[in-house]
Structure 1
Amino acid sequence: MNVKNKLIDSLRPLALGALLLCATAHAEVRPLDRVVAIVDNDVIMHSQLQQRLDEVRQNLARRGGELPPGDALAAQVLERLIVENLQLQLGERSGIRIGDEELNQALATIAQRNNLSLEQFRAALARDGLSYEDAREQVRRELVISRVRQRRVAERVQVSEQEVQNFLASDLGKLQLGEEYRLANILVPLAEGASPADIQRAEQRARDLYAQLQRGADFARLAVANSASENALDGGEIGWRKAAQLPPPFDAMLGQMRVGEVSEPLRTPPGFILLKLLDKRGGEQGVVREEVRVRHILLKPSEIRSDAETRELAARLYQRLRDGEDFATLAKSFSEDPGSALNGGELNWIDPNALVPEFREVMAASRIGELSQPFRSPFGWHVLEVLDRRSSDASGEAREQQALNLLRNRKYEEELQNWLRQIRDEAYVETRL
């Protein structure tokens, strides 16, 4: 995989949406160019469409997918550009700005995910024909789209505690917190308030596609040419999902589908969907958390007590503890950790990951009932004693968080598709292909 592809893959966690390595409605206009679409207050140029088409063809070729007819592909790509353009215009009107610091951080994160330094990342981009400045602009656009969706869609998605508990108690919740599925889809859209004739035509179109798939047609090719889903240009692939993230009845049917199987078209609010199961993997095991019961005495250097003097005091207290003095009594008298001093220095049961590395490492090396030598952390000088260790089952807490994420993602996906269709329907769009 070259760096262009890695850039795309790295950006997907930052923002759901379109392919990045392309020109958009704000790219530089080339000589002898022409307008292929008017979108509200902006335009899309033929050069932008051509550049995106080239990128899509390259991606499909790398995956080994068969290309759809040129006209169908051009129409599909133009539609994606239109929807992206509308979101960028919304961001501009909303005053969304991405500063240099945020851009630099995003690019540094992408480089890190590819195990590259920033200098190596720049060089790799240049080898693949993409300048660092172009990459910054692509990241900026995708961050704007992400911010727009956060304001217009994600902030409206609410999941109540009762919904989480109901889901966990349901047969579906118990089942679907297990296996995870890699999926692709084809969406045949339905406009809001579609007439019975429109619904019938959409259903027939979906059934025609299903019939082609049953005869061996390439799913990715049909998705690129026909799907109205936002991931159409990725061959319809939507990645790994829990079944609970999908609208009924797909959530219940996945457990019975075989890898490679395609569902019959089913009606959902956005339209008729065909779902292909690309792969699946086993359910999550119970979450076991290691916890330690520990107590400590903390001494902090100050203006009236130097670091060396604080270390000497910690050494004297350590010797007094070795000589048999009571830990709790000395902690109450000397410890400068307000959260534990009055409790005899006890931190009670704690997850080691919640502690600073210096404290965690000494604690891990200490046996139960063993007093540590004085040691330094960012907070000061410590003496600690491990009282006990246990393995705590945190699966209940993890399951609640998992259920919350699944329900929120499901609502977000449905709301996003509805919102994208709404802004598209309300926009003035004139195409000139």
Structure 2
Amino acid sequence: MNNIRFPLTLVCLAALAASSLAQGQGLRPGMGITDIMRAGPRLGPPTTAPRSTAAATGAPVQRSAEYIVALVNSEPITNTEVQTRLTRILKENPEAERMPRPELTRLVLERLIAERAQLQAAKDAGIKVDELAIDQAEQTVARQNQISMVELQRRVGEEGISVKSFRNDLRDQLLLTRLREREVESKVKVSDVEVDQFIRDQRSGTNAAVPPDINIAQVLIAVPEDASDAQVATLQQRAQSVAQRARAGEDFAKLAQELSDSPDRANGGALGMRSAERYPTLFVDATQSTPVNGIVGPIRSGAGFHVLKLLAKSQPGASDAIVTQTEVRHILLRNDPKRTTAQAVAQLAEFKERLQKGTADFASLARDNSQDASAKEGGDLGWSRPGQFVPEFEEAMNRLAPGQISDPVVSRFGVHLIQVVARREAKLSQTEQREAARAVLRDKKIDEAFEAWAQEVRARAYVEYRDPPQS
């Protein structure tokens, strides 16, 4: 059985941890070993941590599987929670097996303590997540794993996770994302002097460690979960045929539109120009030494067989950078005490129906209803570059072909109705180069600021360690 990669929201959504099953960036509730090692202070239980009387006297200890291992501001963390997270990490990161189990378990407990302290801070700050936002996150997981919602719920059950627990995980990750935005992201600034230095370093080769921006297109030949060996062989042969046709010079975008099983086929399979860190590791590794316009594959993932084409590659802020730009417009209904999220979704769904029937005009609806500064421009946001919008918006935008209108999209700002007007590959202007460089620097500063903030939250929390976790 293929493990589901659970999209982590934008505590990752800015970093949206790459999924090996999907073709886009992914979110997983629960973090991999690298995340554990980086997240928060690595403080283990103190040597004076309370122990049971039997343990103190050396007598044998018999414990049930469920007991409290730590209290965070009087809120318990149980042994089951630690073991569940540990199991998930080991499934998603086999290399974690190389770490001594007691050390890995300690790190998992510390990660849970840090998360619990942050969730309490979110509650204290009055941050809430609407059920519709969780619905949208759940749909994103299914989409990025190339499966239906029914199949997602089936696989989640096979992982030993109830749908309720899965949705609670999504809720927690969305809460942490919004807390990060409120406490960290809004306070991070990048000066013009820092941008100037970054661009100089990029052009001199000093910043070689900064991952490049890449644009990859794919044709996905999906493999069903229960496919027989004969079916897999047939599908692999079909993927090999696609690769041969692409290498022979056939239009890759046309092949994707006609043959791909991925939602991005409407865009000719193009996944968009973004940092290599925001692509699945499988795709980055496969195209590492591939020249621009080169064809790779088929390669196998949990979703099926992928044939890849490297459309573009450049360093952020480079003078010759070519990116995929999207001309987009939207209608935004902001979060409002007088209108619930569900009511906003219903209103925008009604707008979409009228637009598809031709009884309304997008620009007119935007001017009359949108609660965004772009309303006076008919909702027009102009030509955008990758990473310019919040991930919820951008993920929905990237799935649209020119002329298409999204379903209502819930973001931290409210609910959007999005229409892609056009796309183009274009060289960045000098101003855009600077903004791309500023975005890279800002992301780095946000990561550093978040780590420091998370340590402060952890340090302020009262943590009482009980008996250590046991398998």
- TM-score class normalised by the smaller sequence: 0.3 to 0.5
Structure 2 length-normalised TM: 0.44
Larger Rg: 1
